[in-house]
Copies of this chain bind each other. A is one copy, B any other.
Amino acid sequence: MEQKRTEIAHLGEFGLIERIKNSFSLANDSSHHGIGDDAAVINIGQENLLISTDMLIEGPHFDLSYVPLQHLGYKAVAVNVSDIAAMNGIPQQIVVSLGLSNRFSLEAVDALYEGIKAACKNYKVDLVGGDTTSSPTGLVISITVIGRSEKPKTVLRSGAKVNDIICVTGDLGAAFMGLQVLEREKQVFKSNPEMQPDLEKYEYIIGRQLKPEARMDIIFDLAEKNVVPTSMIDISDGLASELFHLAKNSNTGIKIFEEKVPVDTMTYETAIEFKIDPITAALNGGEDYELLFTINPSDFEKIKNHADIHFIGHMHDNPKQHVMISKQGTVVPLQAQGWKHF
């Protein structure tokens, strides 16, 4: 008998997550909120415990020919911390599992842990455990982070209301353009190893790719100003994809303005150099690890002067209509690409 074979690509990553989510139910009282947000929410009394996990695999996720191990260690922690930030939580502990092939020396492992340690120090998280094992080929890093948030302050993807203001931190598309530069220089180097890569003028965007930061500073600023976002997510797959997650979970429609989407000058110029529309890099680039959140309009006054929070649009009442108003004033339907891993 021939067995049926369906490719995973047929469902896609989000389809697969949905499928898993639907086939599991929650039995323990403490399991407050499971699959489908940046972190799971577990009831531990007065506070919520937040758990998130990310796996980085050599090849699909990073290329050690231009990613220093120290930066990789830092980034692996930062992307996990970013998931806790996206719940309006404070990260506290991580466990780190490593799969290593015999290509990796002790010095390489030390470099990786140097980066992990620097991130732990920066984000005030403790490494409390892990697993170290051998891998037949590449490097695998799997990190789980544990965080906390006060119960009324835990922010899900699902709380946005009609008229809530859509906010985004920092600038977008830089990590993606940094990756394009690194990939180009790798090709140049491969065809002519004498050639030294010219990376200096791209320092900012390359830094955004190699060493992203989780925006814990924004979480502390919001707390100080007494603003609890109504919904939040971190931008790992690109602004458009993340906007769709908020809208779907909150059952709202999106309207954003192209001119309000923050793009750094270097990102803009590099995009032009690569013949990429800068707004495409911002909408679909991914790996920025900025925060995307919505606030009640009554909170606008409290943060309107924050130098690093940008107000790019608002939620409206038609959950089937997600649009961007272009710089020319035309209405463009938004499309979520996300990353295609499969």
Given the interface pairs A24-B120, A49-B49, A134-B341, the reply to whether A55 lies near B106 with Cβ below 8 Å is no
A158 at the interface (CB under 8 A from B): no
Q: For A46, A146, A342, which residue has the most chain B Cβ atoms within 10 angstroms?
A: A146
Per the bound structure, the CA–CA distance linking A17 and B132 in Å amounts to: 8
Contacts of A104 in B (CB 8 A): 8
Specify the chain B residue showing the minimal Cβ separation from A60: B134
Among B7, B59, B102, point to the contact of A102 (Cβ < 8 A).
Answer: B7
- Chain B binder among A121-129, A310-318, A327-335: A121-129
Q: Is the CB of B58 within 8 A of A136?
A: yes
- Chain B binder among A36-44, A187-195, A272-280: A36-44
Per the bound structure, the CA–CA distance linking A18 and B204 in Å amounts to: 37
A235 at the interface (CB under 8 A from B): no
A134 to chain B, nearest CB (A): 4
Binary interface profile of A, 246-258, with partner B (CB < 8 Å = 1, else 0)? 0000000000000
Contacts of A125 in B (CB 8 A): 28
A296 at the interface (CB under 8 A from B): no
Among B4, B13, B53, point to the contact of A95 (Cβ < 8 A).
Answer: B53
A92 at the interface (CB under 8 A from B): yes
Q: Is the CB of B27 within 8 A of A126?
A: yes
Q: Is the CB of A24 within 8 A of B127?
A: yes
Contacts of A23 in B (CB 8 A): 113, 117
Q: Which of A8-53 contact B (CB under 8 A)?
A: 8-11, 13, 16-17, 20, 23-24, 26-28, 30-31, 33-35, 39-40, 42, 44-47, 49, 51-53
A144 at the interface (CB under 8 A from B): yes
A99 at the interface (CB under 8 A from B): yes
Contacts of A42 in B (CB 8 A): 92-93, 128, 146
Contacts of A105 in B (CB 8 A): 5-8
Per the bound structure, the CA–CA distance linking A28 and B126 in Å amounts to: 7
Q: Is the CB of A97 within 8 A of B31?
A: no
A223 to chain B, nearest CB (A): 18
Binary interface profile of A, 100-138, with partner B (CB < 8 Å = 1, else 0)? 101011110100010001001000111111111111111
Per the bound structure, the CA–CA distance linking A60 and B117 in Å amounts to: 28
Per the bound structure, the CA–CA distance linking A9 and B101 in Å amounts to: 11
Q: Is the CB of A124 within 8 A of B27?
A: yes
Give A contacts to B, CB under 8 Å.
3-11, 13, 16-17, 20, 23-24, 26-28, 30-31, 33-35, 39-40, 42, 44-47, 49, 51-55, 57-61, 92-93, 95, 97-100, 102, 104-107, 109, 113, 117, 120, 124-138, 140, 142, 144, 146, 341-342
